[in-house]
A and B are shown apart, each in its own frame.
Chain A
Amino acid sequence: MRGKHDNHSAVEWKIASACVAGRGHSDSGANCQDAYAIKRKNDILAVCLCDGAGSARYSEDGANIVANSICDFLIKESVSAFNGTMSAKLIIDFARESIASFISSHKGSLKDYACTLVAMLLKADQGIAVHIGDGLIAIVEAGRPRVLSAPDNTEFANQTTFITSPDAQARLRIQSFTVPEIATSFALMTDGAQASLYQRKGDIVSQVVEQMASWLDSASENEASVGIQSVITEHLLSQTFDDCSVVILRNTQASFVLACPECKRWDIQHKQTEKTTFLIRCENCGHCFPLSYKIGRKYPVEIRRWVSHLVKYRKMNLSQVHKTTGISTTTLRRWNRSYPTPSISCQF
């Protein structure tokens, strides 16, 4: 699978993003009230996405101020963040002070700058998620997206907690996690984008997240960002009146197991159809395509990696791997010395 897991650095993560104003705003002429910030320092990466409250007068500014200031804060306090001593109070206070500082030369009061916050701090294989209000952080593992930090909506869809709310400190969630080897992407999104990319019932994150992330394997960050903007404009805006924003992080150093070129899941079946050809079939969407290798050569490295993935993460035994891939047990045993040599008493 991955060569050296400690090779994560800030430069390994390619990032693409887009914030698009919702239909509700185009009616009233207001700009997009979502904002994001990305900061890197040495091997540390901070990403913040904020959603300004629709009812707050200067929430567009609020979102910008908080996104930038929290990124700065997370980088500055990364040591305490990763050793678990960073408090919610410090985060809230820092954000509010940044707003207060802005207000001193501008108009309004704290609540006029209300916004939510989804943020991540990454260093090597350690991660911190900071989250207040709605919006979502998703992680993609082995081609499958799942929720890392869920939206906090209290009871009603039109009520959430903001960084300026009285109960902000109680409702701010800080989560530390290890970035698994099979994690290929992260996605941060505001609740407008959630409407098409997340289903609350069943806690399901759309596969589209990984499809967009995969663009970064071959495209530049700018190109992929334009692509995300198109997806939002063509598909997401019509499902909500809200602003829609998505920030995607792609681990470009990951050794990918073969992913379905259509839906980007790693759940695939290989079947050897001829001596040098596999037919790959995606278990998720059913897409089929052939994978060939030269006669006399070893199996394609994608196949080797995939077998390794089945053994390590899907916990398959020899017989199951043979059934899934069609590769002979002799070859499989040669690849994976830990499989016991069969004797009469051995059962699989």
Chain B
Amino acid sequence: MTNFSIRKQDLITNPTPRVAVCLCLDVSPSMSGEVEQGAHPDTVGVPIDELNKGIIEFYKSIRSDTRAKYSAEVAVVAFSTTPVVERDFESIINATPPQLTLKAGGTSLGTAIEKCLTLLENRKNEYKEAGVDHYQPWLIVMTDGLPTDQTHQDSALKVVDLVNKKKLSIIPIGIGGGADREALSIMSPKFSPLKLKGLKFKEFFEWLSCSISGVSRTSTEEEYKPDYEKAKRLGDPLN
């Protein structure tokens, strides 16, 4: 009678493949919602408060998803004139979401994006050295105003190059009526920037969390496209 047993200790335990998600978030004074601070006159509510709530929701939502929980690693970069790394890449399992505050200054979108690209590159190299499988990383950029310098021109070229080589997915989001669609669209070669409806940060981050948990195998021919249908089911946060 054959013994169909194996030695369990001889099975390989591979680390869960990771997906790096970098949030690049505008915390310049206009995110206060006050017109004197540069916010669009149509803005209702306090954008930065809603953004913070959305981030909390994001962390919670990913943690509750069996697929994404062990895969997702999140970095948060908040910027005005200079970017600040609020969270470097870490597993989301025990992480606490950052509480963002307004930062005085302008809106240097390009400098912030450069910072994010550096973080993403470093993390990818760490994965490679450790032999950890990883998925194509995501860069989410959210801004409500006009960039106050031209740094985004150069950084857009880098982003476009990475996206075209399928090394990065970017989701640029304009918040409110004052967002510069041009500045966002030059860094997104595959689809136009999305616009957040009102201050539906919570719904957006829920959609993002769903998208991340759905990261699965794609062929080298496939393009990333935001799943608008799914977005509609989740409170329709995007235009």
Contact = CB atoms under 8 A, between A and B. Distances in A.
A262 B67 CA distance: 34
A207 B219 contact: no
B98 interface: no
A333 to B, nearest CB: 38
Contact of B2 (A195, A223, A235): A223
B233 interface: no
Nearest to B67: A241
Q: Which secondary structure dominates where chain B touches chain A? A: loop
Q: Could you tell me the dominant secondary structure of chain A's interface residues?
A: loop
Contacts of A211: 5-7, 10
B217 A53 contact: yes
A201 interface: yes
B123 interface: no
A215 B6 CA distance: 10
Given A208-B7, A235-B6, A167 B12 contact: no
B134 A156 contact: yes
Contact of A54 (B11, B130, B133, B217): B217
Most chain B C-beta atoms within 10 Å of own C-beta, residue among A160, A202, A208: A208
B11 A197 contact: yes
B89 interface: no
Interface residues of B, number: 29
Contact of B221 (A166, A208, A235): A166
Contacts, number: 113
A261 to B, nearest CB: 9
A208 B134 contact: no
A239 B17 CA distance: 11
A206 B10 contact: yes
Contacts of B5: 211
Given A158-B215, A160-B217, A162-B219, A235 B8 contact: yes
Interface in A221-250: 223-224, 226-227, 230-231, 235-236, 239, 241-242
A207 B8 CA distance: 10
B131 interface: yes
A218 interface: yes
A201 B14 CA distance: 9
B124 to A, nearest CB: 9
Given A157-B17, A159-B166, A262 B7 contact: yes
A157 B220 contact: no
A24 B216 contact: yes
A160 B6 contact: no
A212 B67 CA distance: 29
Contact of A195 (B4, B7, B14, B215): B14
A215 B3 CA distance: 7
Interface in A130-174: 153-162, 164-167
Given A54-B217, A158-B217, A159-B220, A231 B6 contact: yes
B167 interface: yes
Interface string B1-44: 01011111011111001000000000000000000000000000
Chain A interface size, as a band, is: 35 or more
A230 B220 contact: no
A212 B2 CA distance: 11
Given A111-B221, A157-B135, A235-B8, A199 B14 contact: yes
Interface in B126-149: 130-131, 133-136
A263 B4 contact: no
Contacts of A167: 220
Contacts of A236: 11
A202 B14 CA distance: 12
Contact of B219 (A114, A199, A218): A114
Nearest to B2: A219
A301 interface: no
Nearest to A211: B6
B134 A199 contact: no
Contacts of B7: 207-208, 211, 262-263, 285
A198 B12 contact: yes
Contacts of B130: 201
Interface in B143-198: 166-167
A165 B10 contact: no
B222 interface: yes
Interface in A325-345: none
Most chain A beta-carbon neighbours within 10 Å: one of B2, B8, B134: B2
29 contacts: A53-B217, A53-B218, A156-B134, A157-B133, A158-B218, A162-B219, A164-B219, A165-B219, A166-B221, A195-B14, A196-B11, A196-B12, A196-B14, A200-B14, A201-B130, A202-B131, A204-B12, A206-B10, A208-B7, A211-B5, A211-B7, A218-B2, A223-B2, A224-B2, A224-B4, A230-B4, A241-B67, A262-B7, A263-B7
Interface of A: 24, 53-56, 111, 114, 153-162, 164-167, 195-202, 204, 206-208, 211-212, 215, 218-219, 223-224, 226-227, 230-231, 235-236, 239, 241-242, 262-263, 285
Given A157-B217, A158-B216, A206-B10, 16 more contacts: A53-B217, A155-B167, A158-B17, A158-B215, A160-B219, A196-B14, A199-B131, A201-B131, A202-B131, A208-B7, A211-B5, A227-B4, A231-B6, A235-B11, A239-B13, A263-B10
